[in-house]
Structure 1
């Protein structure tokens, strides 16, 4: 049985806005590892690692 791959692709964070704009989205916020930990992990009381390559993007349809 083949293990399902979680990561589909990656991109330079500076290219995310243009990429999403091609699909009608506008970036509101991008968060890197430190921001993810401070904003989303630490408030849960958990101490889980976040890789430096992990980012999250908040975008809205325009």
Structure 2
């Protein structure tokens, strides 16, 4: 699967990168759902920039 990854706070163009990762195997009591696309909401971009009430890694 492909996923957007950011390891630090900053402008999305500078810190966000696309990675390929293996599809996780669900454990007992879990379900795997195939998602073909998902939007990046404006609040997601504020979190990446460190401007949304909390910083990534502090929750």
Q: Which TM-score tier does this pair reach, normalised by the shorter chain? A: under 0.3
Structure 1-normalised TM-score? 0.22
Between Structure 1 and Structure 2, the one with more strand by share is 1
Between Structure 1 and Structure 2, the one with more helix by share is 1
Higher relative contact order (CA 8 A, sep 6+): 1
